[in-house]
A and B are shown apart, each in its own frame.
Chain A
Amino acid sequence: GAGVSQSPSNKVTEKGKDVELRCDPISGHTALYWYRQSLGQGLEFLIYFQGNSAPDKSGLPSDRFSAERTGGSVSTLTIQRTQQEDSAVYLCASSSLETQYFGPGTRLLVL
């Protein structure tokens, strides 16, 4: 079956511009997560959606970052006024039971 998909696969933007990253989770998965991996680092938790509950935003690094999940399915991560330190691979995962399945990620480069 189809796995988690993310788009775009790569994004180059200029400092100060806004970007939107999209995640399509596995159909039927109730939980959706965003992580990012900066160069030489492990994956860093950003935000977590579980069903209809309020999202856990405790990992968002600043108020320039926001995410929404429409209809309990597709999610969009928005970064406003991008900075060079936002450059990273942004990974989305979804789960239904005990295992998180990851998408291939969006590689973001802020110039």
Chain B
Amino acid sequence: DGGITQSPKYLFRKEGQNVTLSCEQNLNHDAMYWYRQDPGQGLRLIYYSQIVNDFQKGDIAEGYSVSREKKESFPLTVTSAQKNPTAFYLCASRKQGYGYTFGSGTRLTVV
């Protein structure tokens, strides 16, 4: 079955470390997205990619980086420059003209 997979489900990071969150989709969707969700709040866009080797900043890109070397993969790196990284991170993909399909999320905690 086609879908979008995020890993790991839970991730713990020490202060000052970079960590990378994985997002893989086999839906043949062109566009992929990363969102951040804080407790009790909605989704805020971090980065998005419309096509391989191209990506754009969203509303809260500072302290994050992404790459899109393959259509299926859109990893997100949370760098040490992100001062408040503890959050729930959601990856999504989209076929043009349709809604998003979301992954099951990664909960990142700074310890």
Q: Do A and B come from one complex?
A: no
* Residues of A near any B CB (own CB < 8 A): none
* Residues of B near any A CB (own CB < 8 A): none
